[in-house]
């Protein structure tokens, strides 16, 4: 069994998807359609811009989706389609890419939703108020417990935001609370606690204004049942019903990305092959740390696409 998985924020690079667009007309069409949907040349920023501007949340989210969908369209050109997977999943914004690939959302709607999602998440909390930190070397249960304990001290928010793999959990919330929790986690045995270069406390309850904005936006978008089941971030289990998908996309803004559980559940359910479709290889590393016996393939360049024909 096989799962197609799609990366989230942090994987962006200048030039991503350009070689695919040069090699495959269908991949080039993706970038043109995203440009048209947004009413601007996002492709020019992706291929010729500066990394600081590309990394702005409102740009990175639709850009990473475009790179993933370009790779997916290139796969289709080589005869690989969504029915060649048993499941799809994506990390945070990658969940939208997964739904687009599975035919649940149109490319144009996905681009517009991610632009709005990025803007809403950035605007939800003033710059400097929130923060995120990666905790290395502690399991999720320990991180979650310490976050809850330290948050209660000052009635500030800090929570486990991303359960990425057995040795990496990301926390998110008020800056002071995140710093306090990070110190407590180092005292509890964490190998490292790294403050992340992000501009907002994603996947925390401080994102509630963004969740409300996404609820309004998603209410006006047609969502079809995906061609193959989606493993939803906040449930770590399969979902196909459009109403449930809509609710879970809203919950995802403030909820924990349960990536470790999602991959473990897929592997335990018989998935032996994971294809990371789009920019970077971050998910592949996580997957190998979660399920050591599975095979991981990266699809981000023309050579990667051609290789699947063998």
What is the pLDDT at residue 153?
Answer: 63
Tokens 């023309």 locate to 302
Prediction pTM value: 0.95
Active site residue 92: yes
* DSSP assignment letter at 103: T
Distance of alpha carbon 1 from alpha carbon 87, whole angstroms: 9
| Residue 246: band (very low, low, confident or very high) from pLDDT cuts 50, 70, 90 | very high
Distance from the first to the final alpha carbon of the chain: 18
> In DSSP terms, which residues pair with 194 in a beta bridge?
134
Say whether pLDDT at 249 is over 70. yes
129: which 2 tokens? 């108020």
Tell me the three state secondary structure of residue 44: helix
The 10s digit of each residue's pLDDT in 194-235 is: 998 887 899 999 999 999 999 999 999 999 999 999 999 999
Residue 309 has pLDDT above 80, yes or no: no
Looking at residue 222, what is its pLDDT?
97
Q: Which of 43, 68, 203, 262 is catalytic?
A: 203
How many whole angstroms separate alpha carbon 116 and alpha carbon 198?
A: 18
Annotated active-site residue in 43, 68, 92, 172: 92
Please state, for a pLDDT cut of 70, what percent of the chain lies above it. 99
18 confidence band (pLDDT: 50, 70, 90): very high
Instruction: Compute the distance between CA of residue 262 and CA of residue 268 in angstroms, rounded to an integer.
Output: 10
- Quick one: pLDDT at residue 199? 76
Contact 138, 188 (CB under 8 A): yes
Tens of pLDDT, residue by residue over 166-205, are 999 999 999 999 999 999 999 999 999 999 888 789 999 9
Residue whose tokens read 């981000």: 300
């Amino acid at each position: 069994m096989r799962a197609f998985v799609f990366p989230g924020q942090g994987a962006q690079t200048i030039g991503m998807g350009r070689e695919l667009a040069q090699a495959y007309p269908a991949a080039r069409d993706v970038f043109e359609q995203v440009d048209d949907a947004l009413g601007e040349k996002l492709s020019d920023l992706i291929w010729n811009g500066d990394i600081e501007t590309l990394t702005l949340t409102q740009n990175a989210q639709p850009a990473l989706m475009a790179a993933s969908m370009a790779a997916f369209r290139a796969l289709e050109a080589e005869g690989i389609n969504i029915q060649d997977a048993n499941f799809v999943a994506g990390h945070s914004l990658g969940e939208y890419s997964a739904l687009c690939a599975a035919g649940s959302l149109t490319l144009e709607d996905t681009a517009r939703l991610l632009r709005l999602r990025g803007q809403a998440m950035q605007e939800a909390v003033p710059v400097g108020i929130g923060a995120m930190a990666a905790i290395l070397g502690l399991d999720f249960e320990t991180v979650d417990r310490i976050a809850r304990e330290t948050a209660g001290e000052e009635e500030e928010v800090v929570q486990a935001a991303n359960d990425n793999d057995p040795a990496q959990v990301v926390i998110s919330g008020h800056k002071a609370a995140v710093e306090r929790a990070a110190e407590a986690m180092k005292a509890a045995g964490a190998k490292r606690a790294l403050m992340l270069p992000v501009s907002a406390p994603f996947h925390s309850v401080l994102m509630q204004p963004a969740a409300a904005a996404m609820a309004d936006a998603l209410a006006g978008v047609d969502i079809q049942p995906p061609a193959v089941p989606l493993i939803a971030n906040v449930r770590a289990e399969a979902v196909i019903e459009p109403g449930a998908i809509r609710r879970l996309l809203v919950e995802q803004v403030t909820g924990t990305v349960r990536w470790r559980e999602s991959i473990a559940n897929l592997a335990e359910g018989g998935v032996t092959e994971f294809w990371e479709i789009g920019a970077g290889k971050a998910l592949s590393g996580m997957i190998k740390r979660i399920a050591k016996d599975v095979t991981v393939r990266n699809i981000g360049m023309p050579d990667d696409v051609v290789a699947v024909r063998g």
